[in-house]
Amino acid sequence: MTDSTSQTGAAAGRDYRSTVFLPNTAFPMRGDLPKKEPAMLARWEAMDLWGMLRAKSKGRTPFILHDGPPYANGNLHIGTALNKILKDVVNRARQMGGYDANYIPGWDCHGLPIEWKIEEQYRADKRDKDAVPVLDFRAECRAYAAHWMGVQEAEFRRLGVLGDWPNRYATMDLPSEAAISAEIGRFLMNGALYRGLRPVMWSPVEKTALAEAEIEYHDHTSHTVTVRFPIVECPVAGLTGAAILIWTTTPWTMPGNRAIALGEDIDYAVVRIDSVKEGSLAVPGERVLVALALLPQFCETAGVETHHLLHLHKGVELLGTVCAHPMRGRGYDHNVVVYSAEYVTTEAGTGFVHIAPGHGEEDFELGRLHGIEVPDTVGEDGTFNAWVPHFAGLHVYRAADAVCAALREAGGLMARGRLVHSYPHSWRSKAPLIFRATPQWFIRMDGPEAIRAKALQAIADTVFVPDQGRRRIGAMVASRPDWCISRQRAWGVPIAVFVERASGQVLRDQAVIDRITDAFRTEGADAWYSSPAARFLGEGRDPAAYEQVFDIVDVWFESGSTHAFVLEARGLPWPADLYLEGSDQHRGWFHSSLLESVGTRGVAPFKAVLTHGFVMDEQGRKMSKSLGNVVAPDEVTSTLGADILRLWVMSSDTSEDMRIGREILKQTAELYRRLRNTLRWLLGALEGFSAAEQVAEADMPELERWVLHRVAEIDAQIRGAVESHDWTGVYAAIHGFCSADLSAFYFDIRKDALYCDRPDSLRRRAARTVLDHLHRCLCTWLAPVLVFTAEEAWTARFGADDSVHLHDFPTIPAAWHDPALGAKWAEIRELRRLATTELEAMRGEKRIGSSNQAVVTLALPDAQAGLLSSGAWADILIVAGATVHTAVTASAHAAVAPGSKCERCWKVLPEVGQTPAHPMLCLRCADAVESGLVGAA
């Protein structure tokens, strides 16, 4: 290959260096991004790039990527940065693909994590939260969220994320609070909202119900008990006096026991215990019922030495059996009936499941099926309520001994042990959770509103990228319980409803909802706390007759309502074209947005859902402070530049989990360097290019037409991704095009023509025309990702008044796409490899310095002999000459070229010396110099 830095052509007689068109550009080799990027951001700000884009896009088809709001409580982490960069790339590419992509970034501001931070400050300052007026507390939370919104906005903008920042949305904006409250009002009026006592995942530490997304699972040591339930009535004769055994890992739920569940097809053994080990609580002579499959395990657990199996019964035979509570006579005198439940298995325990409707979802459902009242046994702080016999005031975490003692005293305890198992904990406080029956507000899934059925239909109607997201969210929606939307906290939007004290009925009156919404719009949700109830109830209603509800709504409901106050309220197209978040949002934001929209509007708020994976370290581990493997986005931007982070995002397979770390960033920086060099070389080779030089595609050499064909192929790939949202592999294809097709092939071949041909030669003009197309295409194609570098490479040619971001992807003429030519050149490149292998060998043996000093003889089968002329082959192989003859199989032979080295182009040719005026030049070079078009010789 010709090396631009060493082609100095110092000759004995004349120096032809100045007659060679070496690439020349002020575009620097080094990116120097950390320094340049902020200046470029300031320039876009000053020129109002965003405003110019909106003005230019008027009348285009709108594209709405609705921003899932990040939570405003800390610096960006790499996952949030990844998400926002991906959104930015999708938006920019849509915009450049001919759409009007208006993007309104937003934030999620209410909720427990911020409240928790403020409470932490209180604890540090030894202040009592309960002594602070609620409005003051809410004001502190608001200030905290506002601070972090500002910090995050600056960080997002530094990453190059373009959007309508001045008009960003926030769930705590006063109109947003009004809109969220109005959405609750819609559920109130359509009947789906109800209050019910039911078990929810409850944190006794934070004193609130938690959403699924706020729960994490850790190992926890639980007390286990095996308990006798004496049979008092049984459809099977002779079993009265025997005991059904249950096993549980939550002894504290025994006061809440109201039933027993069994499996209808399970074989149950009636066993007489004959002898027991020392210390066993089993009694020789007693009869117990246990699943046959679990009998050996039971004997081991309970210390039973010998026993007789008396009878076997299918579960279905035992249905309707009535037992006494194991603490009967001690305040627990209700009957305990045996029911069947499909979820009972013989995997662990005794094959009978104790049912406490206040302490488990399945327990609750079984209780509801059989009309069992839900007992209210545990208070919000995790202690037993005052009316619970024996255990009032005791904390459930510390109740195991007391419950066991009471059971033992009553003769109910059969065995006791411990078990380490995975158990739900609060994501925030790390404290173990309990299922607790509480009065909560719910949105019904299966009422007349048919939210579940509509949601499943909406999922079927939505595009998921990748498609497995459809099954994930579909399975969740199909099996989820009613949506619990209440929280017993202070920082949020209240569920602003009234309950009539006399009837217990919730007040459904649109006029009341409207008064509340109007007040919130100007005063915010604080109005609920600062105004008398009469203001909302209106004339003719006695405030004393109504309970004002002060629960707040779950933040997932709030973010699930953003489509209403960001899109609808601003007159933007609805539903959104795209929601784009991490794959965990199938149970988070996608899920709550879907239910909220389906419940109020009957359809999903999105047409398509795109998900991405999570970011791991280089070894595939989660990032954590303790591992010291955290990669902070601002660290990358300040050392390498935002373009490097953006390039990392788009060179990763975002549908899977991604990895990042020092080594991977180094590789990304190297990838960047190669892309930058491609742009730099293009700029250098295009120096002084003018429209007058242009050559029509039809008049170009085949090599140029092949490059244009490849351009058409990449263009099609990009436009496909713009429409499908699937960007997997697109930027890898662009990079492959730059390195394999351009740098290592096309540029290499055409350097000779570009540097040494007369400027009016068709070959050189055609090449420069193609380079012009390439520069425009590459700058625009790369612009959504390398927002800074593409701009730099664009303005280097077209001036600082222009911006690549104001341009669309170039429209590629249909004629450029030529699959037959593509196939032909794939074959040519295959054959070329035969010759380059030979030339490499010669260079290795130091027989030649560059390939220009060699000639190649190609032996080609008939079908391939006519692919190219020998002159074209010489160009493609970058050799002094080529000859082609036919043979049975293809082969290449290289030899040292005869003749002398042209001092201008370095080709070794016999003709060098034929021009008397320029005895050191070949004919082409002599002509070029004589033409007077190539600079002073």
How many residues belong to the chain? 937
- For residues 484 and 756, which CB has a smaller minimum distance to Zn ion in the complex? 756
Q: Does 763 bind Zn ion (CB under 5 A)?
A: no
Calpha distance 825→496 (Å, rounded)? 70
Contact 892, 857 (CB under 8 A): yes
Query: What are the residues whose beta carbons fall under 8 Å from the beta carbon of 563, sequence distance 6 or more?
Result: 66, 574, 575, 576, 593, 596, 597, 605, 606
SS3 905: coil
Q: In whole angstroms, how close is the CB of 853 to Zn ion at the nearest point? A: 12
- For residues 18 and 510, which CB has a smaller minimum distance to Zn ion in the complex? 18
Q: What is the DSSP pairing of strand 434-443 with strand 483-484? A: antiparallel
Calpha distance 872→882 (Å, rounded)? 8
- For residues 600 and 853, which CB has a smaller minimum distance to Zn ion in the complex? 853
- For residues 587 and 904, which CB has a smaller minimum distance to Zn ion in the complex? 904
Q: Does 109 bind Zn ion (CB under 5 A)?
A: no
Calpha distance 103→577 (Å, rounded)? 12
Q: Does 138 bind Zn ion (CB under 5 A)?
A: no
Q: What is the longest distance spanned by two Cα atoms in the chain?
A: 127
Contact 362, 354 (CB under 8 A): no
Q: Which amino acid is located at 123 in the chain?
A: R
Binding part of the chain for Zn ion, among 64-72, 492-500, 690-698, 923-931 by CB under 5 A, reads 923-931
Tokens 């040519």 sit on residue: 828
Calpha distance 551→181 (Å, rounded)? 12
Q: Does 765 bind Zn ion (CB under 5 A)?
A: no
Residues 37-66 binding Zn ion (CB under 5 A) are: none
Q: Does 925 bind Zn ion (CB under 5 A)?
A: yes
Structure tokens, 414: 């059969």
Q: In whole angstroms, how close is the CB of 926 to Zn ion at the nearest point? A: 8
Q: In whole angstroms, how close is the CB of 922 to Zn ion at the nearest point? A: 4
Q: In whole angstroms, how close is the CB of 11 to Zn ion at the nearest point? A: 12
- For residues 82 and 921, which CB has a smaller minimum distance to Zn ion in the complex? 921
Residues 3-22 binding Zn ion (CB under 5 A) are: none
Query: Up-side HSE of residue 762: CA atoms within 13 Å toward CB?
Result: 9
Q: In whole angstroms, how close is the CB of 745 to Zn ion at the nearest point? A: 22
Q: Does 922 bind Zn ion (CB under 5 A)?
A: yes
Provide the Cα torsion 15, 16, 18, 24; round to 10°: -120
Determine which residue in the list 902, 908, 929, 934 makes contact with Zn ion, applying CB under 5 A: 902
Q: In whole angstroms, how close is the CB of 902 to Zn ion at the nearest point? A: 3
Q: In whole angstroms, how close is the CB of 12 to Zn ion at the nearest point? A: 16
Determine which residue in the list 195, 436, 591, 904 makes contact with Zn ion, applying CB under 5 A: 904
DSSP H or E run through 717: helix 702-724
Binding part of the chain for Zn ion, among 378-386, 776-784, 812-820, 924-932 by CB under 5 A, reads 924-932
Binding part of the chain for Zn ion, among 670-678, 713-721, 832-840, 895-903 by CB under 5 A, reads 895-903
Structure tokens, 866: 């006519």
- Residue 167 class from Cβ within 10 Å (0-12 exposed, 13-18 middle, 19+ buried)? exposed
Q: In whole angstroms, how close is the CB of 874 to Zn ion at the nearest point? A: 13
**Phi, psi at residue 497, to the nearest 5°?**
-135, 165
Calpha distance 415→283 (Å, rounded)? 11
Contact 170, 152 (CB under 8 A): no
Q: In whole angstroms, how close is the CB of 933 to Zn ion at the nearest point? A: 15
Binding part of the chain for Zn ion, among 114-122, 254-262, 714-722, 894-902 by CB under 5 A, reads 894-902
Q: In whole angstroms, how close is the CB of 884 to Zn ion at the nearest point? A: 23
Binding part of the chain for Zn ion, among 232-240, 244-252, 504-512, 905-913 by CB under 5 A, reads 905-913
Going by the DSSP 8-state scheme, the letter that residue 382 receives in this structure is S
Residues in binding contact with Zn ion, number by CB under 5 A: 5
Tokens 């979820």 sit on residue: 343
Q: Does 291 bind Zn ion (CB under 5 A)?
A: no
Residues 159-178 binding Zn ion (CB under 5 A) are: none
Determine which residue in the list 905, 908, 920, 934 makes contact with Zn ion, applying CB under 5 A: 905
Q: Does 356 bind Zn ion (CB under 5 A)?
A: no
Binding part of the chain for Zn ion, among 20-28, 692-700, 866-874, 896-904 by CB under 5 A, reads 896-904
Using alpha carbons, list the distances in angstroms from residue 388 to 223, 255, 391, 394, 739.
Answer: 21, 7, 6, 10, 76
Q: In whole angstroms, how close is the CB of 656 to Zn ion at the nearest point? A: 52
Q: Does 929 bind Zn ion (CB under 5 A)?
A: no
Binding part of the chain for Zn ion, among 402-410, 443-451, 743-751, 904-912 by CB under 5 A, reads 904-912
User: Which stretches of the chain bind Zn ion, using CB under 5 A?
Assistant: 902, 904-905, 922, 925
